Structures are given as C-alpha cells and as structure tokens.
C-alpha cells in the first residue's frame, strides 16, 4: 500500500493524464453514438444516403455499380486492418529495444525521463489500442461482407414484391452498411487517439493536451464540418433532412 502511495505521488501527472485520456476516449465514443440519434452528424446523414442508395439499387436490373462501390468500401477497411497488424508488429519490435528508444527520446526538449517499466506500460497501452482498432476493422469488414450477401439476394424489379417489402429490405441493408461504417469509424478514431498517446512518451501534460485536442478535431469534423453542411444541404433540397 505504501509503495502504491509513493508511486502515485511521484507520477501523479501521468496518472491524471491517463484517466483524462480514458474520459476523452470512451466519453467521445458514447457522446457521438447518442448524438447521432438526435442531431445531424456525418453518421446520421450518411445513413440516410445509404438508405436512398439501397432503394435506388432495388429498382435497377444491373447492379454492377453497386457491388463495385461496396467492394471499394471493403478494400478501404482491409487496408487499415492490414496496416494495424504492421503497426502492432512494429510496437512489439520497439518493446524489445526499449533502452535505445528511451535514450533517443531523452534528448527531446521538455521530455521527462521515464523508467523502463513506465515505457513498457505506455507501449502496452498503444498495443491495446491498436488491438481494439484491429477488431473494429475486421468486424467492419465482415459486416460489409454480410451487406454484399444481402445485396446479392435483393429482389429484382421483376420479382412480385410489394413496395412496402422493398422499402423494408432497403432499410435492412442500409442498417447493416451503417453498422459496418460505424465500426470502421471507431477504428479510425482509435488511430487518432493513439497519436495522443505518443505525446505521453515525451510529457504527460502534452499527452493531456493532445487527448483534448483530438476530441475537438473529431467533434469539428463529425458535427461542424463543411462536408457535413454540404451533405445536409443536399438532403434539405430533396426535402428529407431529418436526422435518424
């Protein structure tokens, strides 16, 4: 118990920065998920576009363009999934040569000298984040595969299917596609927050500031960006600008 108290007093800045990082990481994930159901953001507006896409797809006989778009989305996710594996391999390599990296970072201005154990704990955090991102990317990849199966089994215009059933089928495909996109988005957010962790190797206060900055960047892009404004404007011109 005494050792824990002494450790807390000696490293209170790092402990504070770490818990603030957790608040930023999980807090923004929950915030963005809840806000997507009640207000305009990239997730909610793009879901409307996906539903419209699937409704148009059901009215087409030839769906080569639709499968091509879906394949391109899958390739983007696969690229990040494979890149994450390479990053994890690089982190494992760094863990085997921690002493050299500590000496290299010690020359950086404002860098706080940390012990080998502290460095390894920070590396473990990075490994955990990229493992989380890998699972998100691979699950997104599988969900896009499910979406491709649903697209392949979608009724054609010649099938005797009511308009209500067609709309319900389009909604289901759009929901699966949005689930895949949301998991991909969470993996990308993890990449952003991993950049903040790099600041921890230099200074805990830099880590804290970067964590806050990442939240601001993500919020601006997902809720206040020019791209979102253009997407909303297009929907408003069609008279379908309601959020999810």
pLDDT in tens, 181-209: 999 999 999 999 999 998 888 888 899 99
Structure confidence at residue 200 (pLDDT): 87
Residue 59 tokens, joined: 């009215």
Q: Spell out the long-range contacts of 97-104 with Cβ–Cβ below 8 A and sequence spacing 24 or more.
A: 98/123
Cα–Cα nearest to 179, from 133, 150, 151, 143: 143
- DSSP structural state of residue 159: S
Residues written for the chain: 244
CA distance 238 to 180: 26
Per-residue pLDDT of the chain (244 residues; tens, 9 = 90+): 565 455 555 567 878 889 999 999 999 999 999 998 888 899 999 999 999 999 999 988 888 999 999 999 999 999 999 999 999 999 888 877 766 666 666 666 666 666 677 778 888 999 999 999 999 999 999 999 999 999 988 888 888 888 888 899 999 999 999 999 999 999 999 999 999 998 888 888 899 999 999 999 999 999 999 999 999 887 666 555 444 4
Q: Are 81 and 188 in contact (CB under 8 A)?
A: no
CA distance 244 to 37: 5
Q: For the residues of 52-87, what is the DSSP string, one character each?
A: HHHHHHHT-S--HHHHHHHHHHHHHHHHHHHHHHHH
Write the secondary structure of 83-95 as one string of H (helix), E (strand) and C (coil): HHHHHHHHHHHHH
CB neighbour list of residue 65: distance below 8 Å, 6 or more residues apart:
none
Structure confidence at residue 243 (pLDDT): 46
């Amino acid at each position: 118990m005494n050792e824990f108290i002494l450790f807390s007093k000696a490293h209170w800045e790092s402990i504070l920065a770490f818990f603030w990082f957790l608040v930023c990481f999980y807090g923004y994930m929950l915030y963005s998920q809840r806000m997507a159901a009640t207000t305009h953001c990239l997730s909610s507006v793009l879901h409307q576009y996906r539903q419209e896409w699937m409704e148009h797809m059901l009215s087409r006989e030839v769906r080569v363009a639709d499968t091509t778009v879906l394949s391109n989305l899958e390739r983007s996710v696969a690229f990040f999934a494979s890149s994450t594996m390479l990053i994890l391999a690089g982190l494992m390599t760094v863990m085997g040569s921690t002493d050299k990296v500590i000496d290299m970072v010690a020359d950086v201005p404002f860098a706080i000298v940390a012990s080998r154990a502290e460095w390894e704990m920070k590396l473990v955090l990075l490994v955990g984040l990229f493992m989380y991102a890998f699972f998100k990317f691979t699950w997104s990849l599988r969900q896009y595969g499910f979406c491709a199966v649903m697209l392949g089994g979608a009724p054609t215009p010649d099938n005797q299917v009511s308009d209500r059933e067609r709309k319900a089928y389009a909604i289901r495909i759009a929901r699966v596609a949005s689930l895949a996109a949301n998991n991909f988005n969470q993996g990308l957010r993890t990449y952003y927050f991993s950049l903040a962790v790099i600041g921890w190797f230099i200074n805990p206060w830099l880590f804290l500031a970067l964590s806050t900055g990442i939240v601001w960047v993500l919020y601006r892009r997902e809720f206040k960006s020019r791209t979102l404004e253009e997407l909303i404007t297009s929907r408003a011109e069609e008279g379908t600008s309601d959020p999810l």
